[in-house]
Amino acid sequence: MRERLLKEVLNSENLKKYGIVDWGVTTESRPKTWKYYYSWVEKGLNGILKYLEGERRDKREDLRKYYPEFKSAIVFQFSYANKKYELDKFYKSPLSNGLKIASYVLGFGGVDYHFKLREALEDIAHQIKAIDPTLDYKLSLDTQPILERDLAFRAGLGWFGKNSMFISKSEGSFFILGSLLLSKDYELSQRELEVDHCGQCTRCADSCPTLAIDIETRTLNSNLCISTYTIEDFKGVQEAPKGMEDSNGEIFGCDICQEVCPWNKRLLRVGKVSINENEISDKEREMREFFLERAPEDVILDLENMSNRGFQRKFKSTPIERTGRVGLLKNLRFFSGKR
C-alpha cells in the first residue's frame, strides 16, 4: 500500500505541476567526486566563492555531516528550458537592447528559484509524510553544504559535462536540482550511474570567451567565470576576467557554454521544449522592461539615481536582488565603456 501511494506522489503527472521533468533516488551518502572538489578548493579555483571552503567544504564530504539521520535522497530536476528558448527568441527581436540575463533568472516567473523550489519540495515532502507520518526529512538546494550535482549523479540522472555542468540525456542542462533527504529508505528503484556522453566534443570550452573551463578536469576557474564576476562580485572589487569584452552582453550570469551544448540544442529538435511568449509574469516583465528593453545608458542612469534600498524594494524576491544595485551598475558599465 505504502509503495503504491509513494508512486502516486512521484508520478510524472503529479510532479509536472512543479516544473519537475525527472527524478531519481540514491542511498549513498558520500559523494563520488569529493577528492576532486577538495583539490579544486585547495588550488583556490573557487576564487571569491569563499562559502565553498573551510567548514562548509568539509561538511560536503558526507551527507550525514549535514543530516545525520540520512537514509535516502530523492533528487528532482526543475526545468526552465522553455523559458530559455523563449528568451533566445526575444534576444533576436527588435525589443532587445543587446544585454542578456541568465535564463534561470526569468525561468521561474522572475522569482528567486530558491523560494519556488523550496515550496515545491515542502509540498512533496508533506505528501510523503501523509503516507508515513514517522518520516523526517531535510531539503537540499544549492544553499546547503552538499555537492548537489554529485547527489544527482548518484541518483543516475546524468553526468558531469566538460563545463562542470550536470547534463541529462533527456533534459540537457537547463534545470535546477532540488532534493529531499529522507530519514528512511523506501527501497524505490534506483538507476545505474550514467556514463559520459560528451565524447570528443569541446564546444563549451571553445565558446567560453574568458577561458574559464578546464576540460581535462571538467572544472571552472571561478575567477575567470563570467557568472562569478557578474553575480558574486557585489562591490566591483575584482577585475573583469580577460575576454569578457568578447561575450554576448551578459550583465547577470552566463549561459554561453550551455547554449552551444548539443544536448541542449537537441531539446528543440526533438520537441522537448515549447516557446510561449504569452507566459510572462509581472516580475519577469518588470525585469525585462528595466534591463533588457531600454537603452543601456538609461538603465545605468536610473540605477545611479536609485538608492540601494529602492533597488531592494523594486527587485525584492528576484535573483538579481542578491547582486544589488552596485553590482549591476558595475556589470552595465563594463559594456557601456564607463568603467
Catalogue the active-site residues. 142
How many angstroms separate the CA atoms of 25 and 72, rounded?
A: 7
How many angstroms separate the CA atoms of 107 and 32, rounded?
A: 30
For residue 322, what are the contacts with CB-CB under 8 A and spacing of at least 6?
Answer: 112, 231
C-alpha cell at 307: 538608492
How many angstroms separate the CA atoms of 73 and 110, rounded?
A: 28
Assess contact for 273 and 82: CB atoms under 8 A: yes
For residue 150, what are the contacts with CB-CB under 8 A and spacing of at least 6?
Answer: 31, 32, 33, 34, 37
Residue keyed to cell 533597488: 311
How many angstroms separate the CA atoms of 329 and 339, rounded?
A: 10
How many angstroms separate the CA atoms of 240 and 243, rounded?
A: 9
Identify the DSSP state of 80.
Answer: -
Of 186, 175, 240, nearest in space to 10 by CA: 186
Q: How many residues does the structure list for the chain?
A: 339
